[in-house]
Amino acid sequence: MIHDIYPHVFSNRYIDTGVRDDDYIFFFKKGALLLRQNNDWFDLPTRKEFIGSAGEGIFLFTLNNVNCFLTGECSVPEDPCYVYQEINFFRTLQQKDISWASIVAVQLMNWYDLNRYCGKCGSLMTPKKDERAISCNSCDNIIYPKISPAVIVAILCKDKILLARGKNFRDGFYSLVAGYADIGESLEESVAREVKEEVGIDVSNIRYYKSQPWPFSGSMMIGFTADADDTQPIRADYKEIADAGWYSRGNLPKHPPNISIAGELIEKFESGVL
């Protein structure tokens, strides 16, 4: 999956430290990330590549034991090797360490951007020095990064799997039923509710599979498998789901790659593991 970057090492342990010349700098312009390109290879720029105060930013994480910082200002050298890439670019980038660090940086950049002001008193928020959080000096309100739990489920019946096409999916592309956990329900209850709401069937024997951080939507994807009777009529809600149906091995439609938990579950079904 996309966060499996071994032998590279990613650590989100927060460190109160200043930026050094060899530290990586994450600079976004209209949501696109600045990278240094050499043919088909991409690198994160370092502090020493910039002019003046650029790079004096907020600590993000470490990548391969190098500290990474987010900056809101940057004097980019006039060199065609510096390019900007949108977030979807990192879904297919072969450099797994750069890809994963970049989408996590996008999530943190969005979180800082959406929490510039205190939700209680309206004062400016400032990053804390001792942990990954922002605080209000006026009312002491503290905000931590928001992570939304979402369930995703491979629904099985004998040698078939239920796949659904979201309303915003491209034609012919299908995935698993998924949705956000709601207030006051367990994850297993979320699975049963989402399946019933989106495709109109009941599931049983709900089993935990594994979880995956998914910074594209600021989510924690929690994967499950479940059983269902394929004689139940499928009723797509037509709000989120345009179509759904049962598919057998060797006859699956286009579906997500295994960078996601959805793709991994579908591929395990196809190979007979599920």
First to last CA, the chain: 17
Residue 53 has pLDDT above 60, yes or no: no
Average pLDDT over residues 106-110: 95
Q: Are 50 and 76 in contact (CB under 8 A)?
A: yes
CA distances from 132 to 103, 115, 179, 198 (A): 17, 13, 27, 36
Mean pLDDT of 1-7: 95
Q: Is the predicted pLDDT of residue 212 greater than 60, yes or no?
A: yes
Question: Which tokens in the block code for residue 98?
Answer: 């750069």
Tokens for 27, please give them: 């600079």
What is the reported pTM? 0.90
Closest residue by Cα to residue 24 from 81, 65, 80, 78 = 65
- CATH no. for 10-114: 3.90.79
**Is the pLDDT assigned to residue 52 strictly greater than 80?**
no
Average pLDDT rounded to a whole number, residues 225-231: 97
Whether pLDDT at 128 is above 80: yes
Q: What is the pLDDT of residues 70-107, one digit of tens each?
A: 998 778 878 899 999 999 999 999 999 999 999 999 99
Architecture of domain 148-270: Alpha-Beta Complex (3.90)
Q: Which residue has the tokens 């050298």?
A: 77
**Residue of 232, 236, 105 lying closest to 169 (CA atoms):** 236
122-150 mean pLDDT: 95
The residue-averaged pLDDT of 49-69 equals 85
Mean pLDDT of the chain: 94
pLDDT more than 70, % of the chain: 98
**pLDDT tens-digit profile of 196-205?**
999 999 999 9
| Predicted local confidence at residue 78, as pLDDT | 81
Domain with CATH 3.90.79.10 in the chain: 148-270
Q: What is the mean pLDDT of residues 100-123?
A: 95
